[in-house]
């Protein structure tokens, strides 16, 4: 209302007295508004709100107030609490993208099966001691499907290796495992997987014998037994995959590659002391 009075006075030359009378406000109240200057705290909140909006838009709305807090506190070298970011985002009408429900999969025949050795013990005291692996489906174009296989290190939640393929077959999983060992020769992690056909196959068992890693498999219909990699699928899809329509396989490949680069090197989390997975890994 005061803004309208100011604009009409400047643009049309209408008298302030008449405009205030028409609006039903006291002339003194208008001049008080006109001469008001924000306090240092209010200026600080305004500047922080601007940074929040810029960071939110830059990551296409995927960040909630916790991630915003971690990233901006690091950038600005501040220690603002989560409540301040929550209030600012609520005032700006900003919300993180909501995750979609993970699709269910048909159970496949089992050959080489082992017990759930990891038993949801997702604490690791050194890199490459516990890995989790899985395959997820990514749709593109007119009903086409790509399949992403990945291995995550429980120690720092970094993606150790990944492979995208057009078919959900044994080669996809074996290539992912071979790629992980090319980067980390000689390690002997405990590897958690589900009981999918690739992980119970003769081929996977041969790699188990070759590399000497220990196997652990989730119980039937217990996705939380493989929580670290399941959580990564949810994070990737809500923060990147669900935000774009992909016309080609190459589009999906580009998105996966760019996101995992961002996730490993620039996605800072409170759990890792405000560091990215690779920063935390290097510090170890």
Tokens standing for residue 189 = 């992690």
Structure tokens at 245: 């329509």
Residue 20: per-residue pLDDT: 86
Instruction: Enumerate long-range contacts of 247-256, CB under 8 Å, 24 or more apart.
Output: 247/140, 247/141, 248/140, 248/141, 249/140, 249/141, 249/144, 249/146, 249/166, 251/140, 252/138, 252/140, 252/146, 252/164, 253/146, 253/164, 256/138, 256/148, 256/162, 256/164
pTM, to two decimals: 0.68
Predicted pLDDT at 109: 56
Q: What is the per-residue pLDDT for 102?
A: 59
Query: Within a 10 A sphere around the Cβ of 204, how many other Cβ atoms?
Result: 21
Q: With helix as H, strand as E and coil as C, how does the chain read?
A: CHHHHHHHHHHHCCCHHHHHHHHCCCHHHHHHHHCCCCCHHHHHHHHHHHHHHHHHHHCCCCCCHHHHHHHHHHHHCCCCCHHHHHHHHHHHCCCCCCCCCCCCCCCCCCCCCCCCCCCCCCCCCCCCCEEEEEEEEEEECCCEEEEEEEEEECCCCCEEEEEEECCCCHHHHHHHHHHHHHHCCCCCCEEEECCCCCCCCHHHHHHHHHHCCEEEECCCCCHHHHHHHHHHHHHHHHHCHHHCCCCCHHHHHHHHHHHHHHHHHHCCEHHHCCECHHHHHHHC
| pLDDT score of 140 | 95
- pLDDT one digit per residue (tens) for the chain, 284 residues: 777 877 878 787 888 888 888 888 888 887 777 777 777 888 888 888 999 999 888 888 888 889 999 999 999 898 999 899 999 998 888 888 766 555 555 555 557 889 999 999 899 999 999 999 999 999 999 989 999 999 999 999 999 999 999 999 999 999 999 999 999 999 999 999 999 999 999 999 999 999 999 999 999 888 889 999 999 999 999 999 999 999 999 999 999 999 999 999 999 998 899 999 999 988 87
**Of 269, 267, 263, which is closest to residue 152 (Cα–Cα)?**
263
Task: Dig out the tokens for 115 from the structure.
Answer: 């017990």
pLDDT of residue 274: 92
Predicted pLDDT at 59? 86
């Amino acid at each position: 209302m005061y803004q309208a009075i100011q604009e009409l006075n400047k643009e049309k030359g209408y008298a302030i007295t008449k405009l205030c009378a028409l609006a039903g406000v006291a002339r003194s109240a208008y001049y008080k508004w006109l001469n008001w200057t924000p306090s240092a705290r209010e200026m600080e909140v305004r500047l922080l709100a601007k940074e929040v909006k810029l960071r939110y838009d830059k990551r296409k709305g995927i960040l909630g107030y916790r991630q915003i807090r971690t990233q901006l506190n690091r950038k600005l070298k501040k220690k603002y609490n989560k409540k301040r970011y929550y209030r600012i985002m609520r005032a700006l009408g900003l919300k993180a993208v909501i995750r979609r429900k993970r699709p269910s999969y048909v159970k496949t025949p089992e050959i080489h099966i082992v017990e759930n050795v990891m038993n949801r013990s997702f604490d690791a005291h050194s890199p490459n001691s516990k890995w989790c692996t899985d395959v997820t489906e990514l749709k593109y174009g007119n009903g086409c499907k790509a399949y992403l296989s990945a291995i995550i290190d429980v120690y720092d939640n970094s993606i150790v290796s990944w492979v995208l393929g057009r078919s959900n077959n044994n080669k996809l999983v074996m290539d992912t495992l071979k790629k992980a060992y090319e980067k980390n020769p000689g390690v002997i992690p405990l590897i958690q997987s589900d009981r999918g056909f690739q992980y119970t196959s003769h081929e996977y068992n041969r790699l188990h014998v070759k590399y000497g890693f220990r196997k652990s498999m989730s119980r039937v219909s217990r996705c939380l037994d493989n929580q670290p990699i399941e959580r990564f699928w949810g994070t990737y899809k809500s923060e990147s995959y669900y935000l774009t329509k992909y016309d080609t396989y190459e589009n999906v490949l580009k998105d996966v590659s760019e996101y995992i680069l961002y996730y490993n090197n620039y996605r800072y989390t409170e759990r890792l002391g405000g560091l990215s997975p690779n920063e935390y890994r290097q510090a170890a």
